[in-house]
Amino acid sequence: MKDGSQSAGTSDRALRVALAGNPNSGKSSVFNSLTGLHQKVANFPGVTVEKKTGQCTIYNSSTGVPTRFEVIDLPGTYSLYPKSPDERIPFEVLCDPHNPSHPDLVLLIADGTNLKRSLFLASQVVDLKLPCVLVLNMMDLVLASGTQIDVRDLERRIGVRVVPINARKEEGIEELKQVMVGATPVPEKDVLETTELAPKLIRGLRDLLKLRSDYSAMQIAQHRDSLGQFGFEKQLIEEAGQLIDSTGFNLEKLKSYETLERYKVIQEILRHVVTDPKTPRAPGISQRIDRLLMHRVWGYVFFLFILFLMFQAIFSIAEWPMNFIDETFAGLSELVREALPAGMLNDLVVDGILAGIGGIIIFIPQIALLFTFIAILEDSGYMARVSFLMDKLMRKFGLNGRSVIPLISGAACAVPAILSTRTIGSWKERLITIFVTPLMSCSARLPVYTLLVGLVVPQGSFAGIMSLQGLAMMALYLIGFLAAIGSAALMKYIVKARERAYFIMEIPVYRTPRWSNILYSILEKIRIFLFDAGKVIIAISIVLWFLSSRGPGSTFSRLEEQHDFLEASANTSHDSLAKLQSEMLATSYAGRIGHWLEPAIAPLGFDWKIGIALVTSFAAREVFVGTMTTIYSVGQSDEDALTVREKMRSETDPISGKPRYDSATGWSLMIFYAFAMQCMSTLAVVRRETGGWKWPTLQFLYLSALAYFSSLIVYQVLS
């Protein structure tokens, strides 16, 4: 785009469109309406901030010419001046012309019911002189409140196209798409003239860096300390730094002066454009709901009730599809085993690959349910209330009201949960949240718990309504939570604060969750799990199958020959074959590793088979069930395709003859999995978020010690 304007064409490269707006402005609804299922989540290069991108092709309604777009959903922010790592992204993408995500067109998503605050960010972006379209969202609520917005007048005054929409009901999306394929010019005039605030600095910097607007020069000047992160040449950056220093402006003062002036201009625009300029949104309904949900007693009761509902649902509703998946895979294994000729390939497919895939797919019902709950709580606006209610309490433990969201998300997965700590402004509170989040029982622990709870807790109900197994499950989550806040309280006294902590957040009005948004979020989470975690799990399953079906030295090969001979002969007894197979497992590579570990874990009530699972779960704890499945399929005769739970239930201690998985071992194992840091992805994310190996190392050591000694105590007390 030589002239800087975006033109509709059929060029090979897709036009890059960025969505910018305040949090809660309905950005993700617009994003989903535009891209549908053609979206993916990756990271912005070098940082772990989620980068949501999607593709869409729009046909010009009059010419029929298609235009391809790459849509980027930028993190929500109130201003281009970043306050947290998350908010740096919109600033960098929009202000740095060399940023790889720098857009050809910006859709400024404004909450029509809060135009004044929305226009603050919008006008900043307009002044960057990027081709922009102002999208007025939530027009249904605006109309319902009796407010009138003169769209044409607003267009004239702010200098960019304005499109009113209602993203929740998909109203106005078609008009928006047609505007996107039309030519969008660069805004001509500044909403706020900033040049005269510091003419020498702004003009000098603009000329030096060849920027497209005076305002981007002013924005870049504000980031004197992080100039190196922009994509300009080194030489230019050095000169720019000298220029900024030589003019000696009080940049902080300049910033707040600009903020005040900008709001004055916006106020003036709105005075002309909006009729009925009193408080645009009637807060009536939300306030009435809050009287109950933010009540000093009922507020907490309701919150606990929601959590209770969540865990009961995860355990009881998910059980049905999970049993179905479990049985389907047992049946499938049987089929494949008979269809393929016996031998190495057969074993690899059934015991390695199918067992691995089954162990992954079984997670899906619970992950879907958990994320459904979390997405509904976020989308409805309730999560912000929870942060508000919990802030004081959380601070007693060195945390922040905003830590509640990562902690609850931690019940799904620690990785996105740790990423969501970026909204916490204070370093100390953020670090503590990151440190303790892995103690929250994530969805990867669910199958481990499910398996073990099913083994050691009897079916049946308490007081007629609550299932005992559901209660045990809730207890495990509670133990994780208590360990998390206990550890946080400990860290509060160890970690030094870098700056004063604060908590400033918008409390949005209640909205009915938009089901398609929730659906997209669940699909995304399942996809990430299936393909990212799934790859690791299958790879480990295959390695494990190899390690447990091969062994070092002559003992193993002698056993193997014996086994093949017995299997081939017709009148071999079932028992002698099974006995031989378990001997083979014990002498395999995996068995040897397990035996080698046994002295260290025996006081915890674990045997060498569990030892193998501990080793493989080091990379990712969800591998536990897969490992157990593999170990027990390798150790069992081919004829019974029992599910892993049944196999484990029938396992007995070779010395005492009692069930191997009694309640002491079961609980000890569950506590171990509740506390131990068995997730490489989490460690990797912590390293990136804390900028070094110091914190992930400390975290790993602390959590491992906590897991080991807690399990030790549990086993010694229960056995």
Partner 1 sequence: MLCETKRLSSLHQGDSAIIESFSDDRVKQQLLEMGCLPGEKVTIDRFAPLGCPMAIQVNGYTLGLRTEEAASILVKPLQ
Report if residue 290 touches partner 1, rule: CB under 8 A. Answer: yes
User: Residue 164 or 299: which CB sits closer to partner 1?
Assistant: 299
Residues that contact partner 1, how many (by CB under 8 A): 46
DSSP-assigned letter for residue 566: H
Q: Which DSSP category does 192 fall into? A: S
Mask for 356-385, x = binds partner 1 (CB under 8 A): ----------------------------x-
Q: Does the footprint of partner 1 cover residue 403 (CB under 8 A)?
A: no
Binding partner 1 (rule: CB under 8 A), the pick from 210, 296, 496, 658 is: 296
Minimum separation from the CB atom of position 85 to partner 1 (A): 15
Q: Does 503 bind partner 1 (CB under 8 A)?
A: yes
- Binders of partner 1 among 177-216, rule CB under 8 A? none
Structure-token pair, residue 490: 């400990």
Instruction: Among 100, 228, 231, 283, indicate the residue that binds partner 1 (CB under 8 A).
Output: 283
Single out the segment in contact with partner 1 by CB under 8 A; choices: 366-374, 428-436, 504-512, 630-638. 504-512
692: contact with partner 1 by CB under 8 A: no
Residue 83 beta carbon to partner 1: minimum distance, rounded to whole angstroms? 6
Pick 212 or 255: Cβ nearer partner 1: 255
Q: Is the dihedral of CA 99, 101, 105, 108 positive or negative?
A: negative
Q: Given candidates 188, 196, 252, 575, which one binds partner 1 under the rule CB under 8 A?
A: 252
Contact status: 226 vs partner 1 (CB under 8 A): no
Which strands make up the sheet holding 161-164, listed edge to edge? Answer: 39-43, 50-59, 66-73, 15-21, 105-111, 132-137, 161-164
- 471 vs 111: CA distance, rounded Å: 43
Q: Indicate the DSSP class of residue 133.
A: E
Say if residues 165 and 181 touch (Cβ distance below 8 Å).
no
CA distance 153 to 149: 9
- Please say which residue, 13 or 500, places its beta carbon nearer to partner 1: 500
Smallest distance, Å, CB 171 to partner 1? 22
339 in contact with partner 1 (CB under 8 A): no
Is 509 an interacting residue with respect to partner 1 (CB under 8 A)? Answer: yes
Among 502, 565, 596, 693, binds partner 1 (CB under 8 A): 502
- Residue 172 Cβ vs partner 1, minimum distance, rounded to whole Å: 22
Pairing label, strands 15-21, 66-73 = parallel
Tell me if 81 contacts partner 1 by CB under 8 A: yes
Write the Ramachandran bin of 26: left for phi over 0, alpha for psi from -120 to 50, otherwise beta: left
Nearest distance from C-beta of residue 21 to partner 1, angstroms: 14
> Are 163 and 176 a contacting pair, CB within 8 Å?
yes
Per-residue x/- marks for partner 1, 460-499, CB under 8 A? ---------------------------------------x
User: Does 279 contact partner 1 by CB under 8 A?
Assistant: yes
What the block records as the tokens of 524 is 């995304």
Helices 382-396 and 284-293, axial angle in degrees (round to 10): 40
Please report whether residue 427 would count as binding partner 1 according to CB under 8 A.
Answer: no
Q: Is 120 among the residues that bind partner 1 (CB under 8 A)?
A: yes
Applying CB under 8 A, which of residues 155, 506, 567, 662 lies at the interface with partner 1?
A: 506
Residues 6+ apart with CB under 8 A from 344: none
Nearer to partner 1, 114 or 450 (CB): 114
DSSP three-state, residue 655: coil
Nearest to 706 by CA among 379, 487, 427: 487
End-to-end CA distance of the chain: give it in Å, rounded. Answer: 74
Q: By CB under 8 A, tell whether 286 contacts partner 1.
A: yes
User: Which amino acid, 519?
Assistant: L
Which has the closest alpha carbon to 605: 663, 655, 651? 663
The minimum distance between CB 26 and partner 1, in angstroms, equals: 14
Least separation in angstroms between CB 509 and partner 1: 8
Does 148 bind partner 1 (CB under 8 A)? Our answer is no
> What phi and psi, each to the nearest 5 degrees, are found at residue 41?
-115, 125
Indicate the SS3 state at residue 274. Answer: strand
Identify the residue among 116, 550, 563, 595 touching partner 1 (CB under 8 A).
Answer: 116
Per-residue tokens: 685: 């994310």
- In the structure encoding, which two tokens stand for residue 453, read together? 């709870």
Q: How far is the CB of 114 from partner 1 (least distance, A)?
A: 5
- Take residue 696 and report the two structure tokens written for it: 């992930």
CB of 503 to partner 1, least distance (A): 5
Which of these segments, 183-191, 290-298, 675-683, 707-715, binds partner 1 (CB under 8 A)? 290-298
Q: Does 260 bind partner 1 (CB under 8 A)?
A: yes
Q: Is 114 among the residues that bind partner 1 (CB under 8 A)? A: yes
Verify binding: residue 536, partner 1, rule CB under 8 A. Answer: no
Give the CA diameter of the chain.
Answer: 98
Coil, helix or strand at residue 480: helix
Give ∠ CA 92-500-262 in degrees, rounded to 5.
Answer: 45
Query: Applying CB under 8 A, which of residues 387, 441, 627, 699 lies at the interface with partner 1?
Result: 387
Query: CA-to-CA distance for 626 and 634, rounded, in angstroms?
Result: 12
Taking residue 515's Cβ as centre, other Cβ atoms within 10 Å add up to 12
Asked whether 87 and 230 are in contact (CB, 8 A), the reply is no
Q: Which residues bind partner 1 (CB under 8 A)?
A: 78-79, 81, 83, 113-114, 116-117, 120, 252, 255-256, 259-260, 263, 279-281, 283, 286-287, 290, 294-297, 299-300, 384, 387-389, 391-393, 401, 499-500, 502-509
